[in-house]
Chain A
Amino acid sequence: MLFSGGTGRQKLNISFVSFGISQFFVFDISLKLVSQKSFLSPDSQSTFIPVAEWSRGEGQCFQVGHWNDLVMISCYDLSKQFGEFWAVDGVTLDVQPGEVLVLLGQNGAGKTTTVRMLTAVLTPSRGWAKVAGYDVMKHPSKVRSLVGVLTEQHGLYARMTAEEYLDFFGQVYGIDPVARRARSNYLFEYFGLMQVADRRTGEYSKGMRQKLALARALIHEPPVLLLDEPTSAMDPESARLVRDHIADLRSSQRSIIICTHNLTEAEYLADKIAIIYRGKTIIQGTLDEIKQKLMGPAEYEIRLGGEWSLDRLRLPENIRVTSRGSHGFAYQVDQPAVTNPIIVQNLTGQQVPVISLQEVPRSLEQIYLEAMARVEKGMAL
């Protein structure tokens, strides 16, 4: 929290509470003088947002903060009903600044509907959602100004040039002409579109369109990004470029939700994963947490020099052997950092040569398929 302030009629009385990141102060104080509640003026691209507000006497008081201080995306029991059908049913999520949450699920599971509710395009039928401190139902316009969205379809106007297209959306987000130009040029340069920026988007290849759509989502430097299949239709090189850019955005403390079917990409980018099945979140957490939950503790494999019978080896009791052979065995252990050195020590103490000890890789694909298999069989996760 940086400071608290209050407005009495048109006057703003600012009282400093604490000093943190200070480079925004002067700029934003002047902003609040002209705008009573709108801390994030689209003209200024300020990153201040209200984190609390209350009434005192005649004035409305606020506490404001930088978006680093907040849970940027937060929803509870978020649900959407179309007719009799619940497309999303009780999704609860939290995304911190600098965090990437990947939503996984089958087609029609409710990922896109969830994202559309978070962008305030669809109104939730039940539950609530806050994006950058704003309630999606109470302040939809504010939410939309703070979110960069890459939609399922690229959504480009075929008769506009890429330059015109980015300029148009820059104006929609209220960016001034100089900043618009600079930002567009940066994005064209970054995505390798500078040479074709004056061409109509109808002439673009699929991958180029996807890059331009991503540039559109980034034109206003939003603190929150909601990306639906960001690398679909892209060649491997471009996909890598986009993934790296998303990683950069994460480093700059942006909160990102990605919907994807590309599990390799998900594994590369995700800080957290949520799997949605028929509108419900069936499991969520970090990749390690999900692995642990679905497939038990981490699994390790030891290869031994020569043939050995496992029954004759002395091993710690807290390991669970999952497979065995004459040249080695695999096991699961809860605290590998403690137990693995003991195992190696025991084996070498028994004159058993240890050729290798490595963790058995468990891909996100295995985990996802396991989750789906269990849920379809009606088993608990």
Chain B
Amino acid sequence: MKRNFKQVWLVASRELRDQLRDWRIIFPMIALTVFFPFLMYYTARLAVELVNKYGAGLMGERMVPFLLMVVGFFPVTVALVVALEAFVGEKERGTIEPLLSSPLEDWHLYVGKLIAGTIVPLIAAYLGISVYLTSLWVSHIPLPNSSMLAQTITLTTAQGVLMVSGAMVISAQSTSVRGANLLASFIIIPIALLIQGESILMFWGSNTILWLAVFGVTVLSILLIRLGLAHFRRESLIGREIDILNFRFMWNTFRKQFFGTARHPSDWYRDTSNTLYQQRYSILIVIVIGIIGAFSAYFYAVYKMPFLLESAGQAGIKDIISEVKQDLSFEAPQLSFSYIFLNNLRAIIVSLIFGVLTLSVGGIMAYLLNIGLVGGVLGLSGGLGYSPVMVLIVGVLPHGIFEITAVVITSAAILHMGVMLVTPDPNRTMSQVFIESLANWSRILVGFALPLLIIAAGIEAYITPMLIAHFLR
């Protein structure tokens, strides 16, 4: 083990030495570490003075940690540049082959380069944060509390690792630095959205959700590292020379997986059932996650209900109930068959998109949100004076048996996709695994989920409202 770590550090230290000898890395780092925090400090001081003048002290208070995050984030962006060319840059310069021909293991190379890509920008970020905080302290501007400080530092670290791990995957799979740079938008855009979201949370002052974001970013980083390691191949780095989007290969792979060897619809259904069976553990995990999510949402709603009732007042509650009754008329557009069907289908497709972008994590979160909504509604109905069990039986289960089943199996297919992507498979490339997983998801959607959604929409549109109306009366 010691020897393994030695080899990892050997790769990392060589990379670090290379970075520290490159003025194109050092100069921006110095600028972002020394000068930029002063600029941010100056901005913070002006902002605090300005908002205090208009009696909005809270904004100034929130501005200080927000700028702390910005100071930490900017040097981390350099990590992207370094990591993007970690493998593909060496390939272009012709230095990768002696390394690949050496007894270093794949993970020695991968982890070594990952460490090297992360360490310098993170140190620069921490130094920048220190300079900023020192400036605040010297100017007697109140420092963020220790919890906020820990949160920002953890967030900066997690974002740095996330960017580097994403860039490493791109670098190991690209055929040219140009290609890797073009693909960098797949990191930059989500990270930009993430930063925007985090900024809102910071101004909103929601510490708990921000910690959840830290947790989510950390999980995603770990999954990306696993993905990179699972699909790192010496052969791809040496063998592939040009970037071609091979639509024929993509379509053939998809078609082969989607249709299999079936010659008759019954064969296809049998194969699709086998696919479902292969995903049984994912289905089980998704069910367990769903149960936990539904119960958590139920108890949260029950816990929050007294506060809601208090704020709504007796008259408000009556309004809510009459609104619900009005909504349950058959003419209401949101309860038409097509609306319900398309809405459910859209939710499933959105889960897939989130799942694809985040190695299943986002897809499962979207599923959790949907299932949590059911638990929350049951919790609220209890608070309004209805029996949650009755609401479940007459308002959820009639269509929910079909709808939730469809959501569970498609979400399980998304989870399975993520699992397959992060599982090493020497015989298949990452794109192959992805296309085949997508084809599996599609065949489950077409074969099982769509029929279930059609049945569910029919019941929800024509039977459930009658049951609920009867129940409410």
CB < 8 Å: which of A142, A156, A158, A168 contacts B10? Answer: A168
**Chain A residues whose CB sits within 8 angstroms of the CB of B239 once the complex forms:** 82, 122
How many angstroms from the CA of A152 to the CA of B100 in the assembled complex? 13
Q: Is B385 an interface residue (CB 8 A)?
A: no
Which of A147, A151, A160, A164 has the largest count of B CB atoms less than 10 A from its CB? A151
Q: Is B327 an interface residue (CB 8 A)?
A: no
**Chain B residues whose CB sits within 8 angstroms of the CB of A168 once the complex forms:** 10, 14
Which of A145, A157, A213 has the largest count of B CB atoms less than 10 A from its CB? A157
Q: Mark A156-170, 1 if CB is under 8 A from B, else 0.
A: 111110001000110
**Chain B residues whose CB sits within 8 angstroms of the CB of A151 once the complex forms:** 94, 97-98, 101
Taking a contact as CB atoms under 8 Å apart, the answer to whether B18 and A149 are in contact is: no
Q: Is A180 an interface residue (CB 8 A)?
A: no
Q: Is B319 an interface residue (CB 8 A)?
A: no
Least CB separation from B241: chain A residue: A82
Interface residues on A, range: 20 to 34
Taking a contact as CB atoms under 8 Å apart, the answer to whether A119 and B103 are in contact is: no
Taking a contact as CB atoms under 8 Å apart, the answer to whether A147 and B101 are in contact is: yes
Taking a contact as CB atoms under 8 Å apart, the answer to whether B101 and A119 are in contact is: yes
**Chain A residues whose CB sits within 8 angstroms of the CB of B234 once the complex forms:** 121-122
How many angstroms from the CA of A352 to the CA of B14 in the assembled complex? 76
Asked whether A154 and B102 contact (CB < 8 A) given A82-B239, A159-B18, the answer is no
Interface residues on B, range: 20 to 34
Which of B7, B21, B22, B102 has the largest count of A CB atoms less than 10 A from its CB? B102
Least CB separation from A156: chain B residue: B95
Least CB separation from B95: chain A residue: A155
What secondary structure prevails in chain B residues at the interface with A?
helix
Q: Is A211 an interface residue (CB 8 A)?
A: no
How many angstroms from the CA of A121 to the CA of B3 in the assembled complex? 22
List residues 1-60 of chain B with CB under 8 A from any CB of chain A.
3, 7, 10, 14, 17-18, 21-22
Taking a contact as CB atoms under 8 Å apart, the answer to whether B22 and A159 are in contact is: yes
Q: Is B308 an interface residue (CB 8 A)?
A: no
Asked whether A172 and B97 contact (CB < 8 A) given A116-B238, A159-B22, the answer is no
Taking a contact as CB atoms under 8 Å apart, the answer to whether A157 and B101 are in contact is: no
**Chain B residues whose CB sits within 8 angstroms of the CB of A158 once the complex forms:** 93
How many angstroms from the CA of A357 to the CA of B393 in the assembled complex? 110
Which of A82, A158, A164, A172 has the largest count of B CB atoms less than 10 A from its CB? A172
Taking a contact as CB atoms under 8 Å apart, the answer to whether B101 and A144 are in contact is: yes
Q: Is B331 an interface residue (CB 8 A)?
A: no
**Chain B residues whose CB sits within 8 angstroms of the CB of A116 once the complex forms:** 238
Least CB separation from B7: chain A residue: A172
Taking a contact as CB atoms under 8 Å apart, the answer to whether B97 and A155 are in contact is: yes
**Chain B residues whose CB sits within 8 angstroms of the CB of A145 once the complex forms:** 102-103
How many angstroms from the CA of A151 to the CA of B102 in the assembled complex? 12
Q: Mark B92-125, 1 if CB is under 8 A from A, else 0.
A: 0111111111111100000000000000000000
| 30 examples of A-B residue contacts, CB within 8 angstroms | A42-B103, A121-B234, A121-B238, A123-B235, A123-B426, A141-B103, A141-B105, A142-B103, A144-B101, A147-B101, A151-B97, A151-B101, A153-B97, A154-B94, A155-B94, A155-B95, A155-B98, A156-B95, A158-B93, A159-B18, A160-B14, A160-B17, A160-B18, A164-B17, A168-B10, A168-B14, A169-B102, A172-B7, A172-B104, A173-B103
